[in-house]
Amino acid sequence: MHTTAVVIGAGHAGLAMSRRLTQRSIDHAVLERGEVAHSWRTQRWPSLRLLTPNWQTRLPGYHYAGDDPDGYMPVAEVVATLTRYARLVGAPVRTAATVHAVRAAPQGFQIHAGDDVLYARAVVLAAGACTLPAIPAFAGALPPTITALTPLTYRDPSQLPDGGTLVVGASATGVQLAEQIHRSGRPVTLAVGEHVRLPRTYRGRDIFWWLQATGLLAERYDQIDDLTRARHLPSPQLTGTPEATTTDLNALIAQGVRIVGRLGRITDGRAQFSGSLPNTCALADLKMNRFLNRADEWATASGLDDELPSPHRFAPTYVDPRTPLELDLTRGEITTVLWATGFRPDHSWLDIPVWDRTGRIRHDGGVVTGAPGLYVLGLPVLRTRASTYIHGAGPDSEVLAGHLHSFLSRRR
């Protein structure tokens, strides 16, 4: 079968792109390994909520119109929203069409999906940024008595054995699961490497309101000093609870979670943690305060100081001077290790040499380098800092659909 364009993945990014292509009358197919919003249905724990507030959850031709604009959308509602959106924009989704291979062909690309072979002049990769867990190589050294889980297989604490859990990684995922598991009566130790500390609300507004208002989310990829670093930052330590609570390390410590340094190695059944925890926390505190300074300066410049509560600062992260550097995983105190060490996309089916030396796709703001007609969408800081979040797919898909459109015109 021949079509002009193929979009791989029917999540928020793929559906936004489908809408943009339809608006430009570019005929296309959206290939989806499962159903619409597949990873939200099958690879996210059921109590997860979006980090972004509902008012920010927008896609081309859709904005939130419910009765809780300041709330955080539960994962089931994300699934329902994307499913409705796919119908709303008439996305030509082929479900259960797992892509096995994408190859270069004389007139563009050859795509093997399910039992079909498709030919397209342009391909948009929108298969998700969080498809595979990124687990350190030394995970293989875990003692066999330990239950190991990733966020993709975690559902709720009841699937864990009794006893202590070591949560490795202090991103949004790490802090959320640390809190949830600790509350279930399983004492949690949280191994903390480089992290991003942010309060849920500041001066009466959601932190994402500030991130948007100050222009931070709009910062373009080609204007960011250290783009590699920006694209690999852990997600901010935020939770979308109905009460809009802050889940920074101090909040977790107050609940009894034990904080240790970055997990550096597992040797002879012992987990060894970095002694750099005080500096790791100091860096995160400094970075948070730099952003709050920027927010306050922006508020003053915008004449909002009378309208908003006064500026204030949060307590520095507490680091216990007796923090252990080692934990014996064979003693029975820890029964579970949860690898909240990040995710990576799965592009293993892409049979076109577009990789950098670390195995990631080389691209310029979503235009894949050295493969005309190939695009990638829905990756962190793809075109702006907002690209990491659902609402970033709107502007990103507009630019890339425009590029794709002129690419097709040039070749006619």
Partner 1 sequence: MTITDRPVDNGVNVQALLGAREALSAAPEAAQFTWRASCTWRNGTHSHSTVAGFTGLGAEQQHRSTYEFDVDHPECFASEDNGATPVEFVLVGLVGCLTAGVASVAQHRGIQLRSVTATIEGEMNVLGILGADPGVRNGFEAITVRFVIDADASRDDLQALIAQSQKRSAVFDIVTNPTKVLVELA
Residues contributing to the site for partner 1 (CB under 8 A)? 261-262, 264-265, 267, 272, 274-276, 279, 282-283, 286, 289-290, 357
Whose Cβ is closer to partner 1: residue 184's or residue 274's? 274
Whose Cβ is closer to partner 1: residue 111's or residue 327's? 327
What is the nearest approach in angstroms of partner 1 to the Cβ of residue 283?
5
What is the nearest approach in angstroms of partner 1 to the Cβ of residue 272?
5
Who contacts 402 (Cβ-Cβ below 8 Å, separation ≥6)?
none
Q: What is the distance between the alpha carbons of residues 226 and 215, in angstroms, rounded to a whole number?
A: 18
- The answer to whether the beta carbons of residues 258 and 187 sit under 8 Å apart is yes
Task: Give me 62's structure tokens.
Answer: 């859709």
Q: Tell whether the torsion through CA atoms of 56, 214, 381 and 223 is positive or negative.
A: positive
Task: Give me 234's structure tokens.
Answer: 């852990």
- The answer to whether the beta carbons of residues 49 and 132 sit under 8 Å apart is no
What is the nearest approach in angstroms of partner 1 to the Cβ of residue 324?
12
Whose Cβ is closer to partner 1: residue 277's or residue 382's? 277
Whose Cβ is closer to partner 1: residue 176's or residue 272's? 272
Whose Cβ is closer to partner 1: residue 47's or residue 279's? 279
Q: What is the DSSP letter of 139?
A: G
Whose Cβ is closer to partner 1: residue 204's or residue 321's? 321
What is the nearest approach in angstroms of partner 1 to the Cβ of residue 125?
24
What is the nearest approach in angstroms of partner 1 to the Cβ of residue 80?
43
Whose Cβ is closer to partner 1: residue 265's or residue 331's? 265
**Buried b or exposed e, range 157-193, using 16+ CB within 10 angstroms:** beebeeebbbbbbbbbbbbbbbbbbbeeebebbbbbb
What is the nearest approach in angstroms of partner 1 to the Cβ of residue 289?
7
Which of 395, 317, 383, 375 lies closest to 9 in space, CA to CA? Answer: 375
Q: What is the distance between the alpha carbons of residues 18 and 404, in angstroms, rounded to a whole number?
A: 12
What is the nearest approach in angstroms of partner 1 to the Cβ of residue 361?
17
Q: Strands, E, within 141-295: which ranges?
A: 147-149, 164-168, 188-192, 201-202, 205-206, 258-261, 263-267, 270-273
